[in-house]
Amino acid sequence: MPRLAYLGPEGTFTHRAALDLARPGEELLPLDRAEEVIATLADGRADSAVIAFENSLEGPVAANLDLLIATDEAIVITAERVIEISFTLWRLPGDETPLRGVVSHAVGLAQCTRFIREHDLATRAASSNGVACREVAEAAEPGWAALAGSDAGSRFGLVPVEEGLRDDERAATRFLRLGRRSPAPSGRDRSAFVLRPDQDRPGSLVACLQEFSARGINLTAIKSRPTKELLGEYVFLVEAQGHLREPLLRDATRALLRASVDVRFLGSYPEDPTRPSPRRGPAPDETAALLEALLARTDEEPA
């Protein structure tokens, strides 16, 4: 039976994404740490994996991005899922002690900053929101609670006290399904690459990006991460609209492979159909009006 690894336990947001991304007949394999999830896929104990990748408020989940960049080059992104995120406050049954601290994943703590500040709470980070619930249940420390998903705490005997906690109504997290072979084009795809330009040549990153822009390929994300080898050296994760099998993107990739840059293909995959459409820039006539408004705040002659 094929296995799909994910950051557990059950009840986490990653578990919800794994349920959505699982294929018929796949066994879900919950693990305690993201490193284990990637390692289990890399060594063949799992056939696929799901990781949290990006949050609309906090940006990339840096630790998971680093794991993806550092892992076996045969591993690629095969699908994505975007989930709206809100948190439930889970407490020990019967605990009426004034709330003094909360446990959650670091990203969860960041997404509930307003609630934490308003109540002047101490915080502890856990490896996942499900693990946060387990820690609160096992420690049985009065006044402490977990911030987790709406179905995360009940399996540990906790009770929901407050729901819908988040700093922004548009909060969402993007999850990736990882495997070893990208699916065929769907008509609405993205492709991801890791680029490591020649650090000694000025304009090397710009030259890489121009291979996309010269062909009219829209870049949807550029994320930089340190190489962890030398201070000031970075690699860049680039996401572009389109599939590697499409002629324009294939052309751009061929040009990158010929250039002075290390290229790693991270997969072509269908966009989540629930993903919101990108914001469009102003129309030309609106741009002219905006420029006139800016000019109106300047003087024509020197003072």
pLDDT band at 189 (very low <50, low <70, confident <90, very high): very high
pLDDT computed for residue 276 by the predictor? 64
Domains 1-84+171-181 and 87-165 share a fold: yes
Domain range list for the chain: 1-84+171-181, 87-165, 183-279
Distance CA 63, CA 107 (A): 11
183-279 belongs to CATH 3.90.1150.10:
no
Least confident residue range of 33-42, 73-82, 185-194, 280-289 = 280-289
**In the chain, at which residue ranges do the beta strands (DSSP E only) sit?**
3-7, 27-31, 48-55, 59-60, 76-84, 87-91, 101-105, 122-126, 144-148, 159-165, 172-179, 189-197, 219-226, 234-241, 261-270
CA 162 to chain centre: 26
First to last CA, the chain: 78
What pLDDT does 92 receive? 95
Query: Which of the pair, 120 or 298, is modelled with greater confidence?
Result: 120
CATH superfamily, domain 1-84+171-181, is Periplasmic binding protein-like II (3.40.190.10)
pLDDT, tens digit, for every residue of 133-158?
Answer: 999 999 999 999 999 988 889 889 99
Give the pLDDT score at 57.
Answer: 75
pLDDT cut 70: percent of the chain above it: 95
What band does 283 get if pLDDT is binned at 50, 70 and 90?
A: low
> According to the model, what pLDDT value does residue 270 have?
95
- Looking at residue 125, its pLDDT comes to 93
Is residue 263 within 8 Å of 193, Cβ to Cβ?
Answer: yes
For 297, residues 6+ apart whose C-beta sits below 8 A from its C-beta are none
**Residue 199: pLDDT over 80:** no
Q: Is the pLDDT of residue 206 over 80?
A: yes
The tokens for 260 are 């002075």
- Three-class secondary structure of residue 66 per DSSP: helix
- Top pLDDT among 168 and 221 is at 221
Place of tokens 């095969």: 78
Superfamily per CATH, domain 87-165: Periplasmic binding protein-like II (3.40.190.10)
pLDDT at 264: 92
Q: Quote the CA–CA distance of 187 and 246 in Å, as a whole number.
A: 10
Looking at 51-65, 172-186, 187-201, 288-302, which range is the least confident one?
A: 288-302
Amino acid at position 85, single letter: I
Joined together, the tokens standing for residue 228 give 């962890």
84-143 pLDDT, tens digit each: 888 999 999 999 999 999 999 888 898 899 999 999 999 999 988 888 999 999 999 999
**Bigger pLDDT: 80 or 199?**
80
Cα–Cα dist 110/195, whole Å: 29
- Single-letter amino acid code for the residue at 179: G
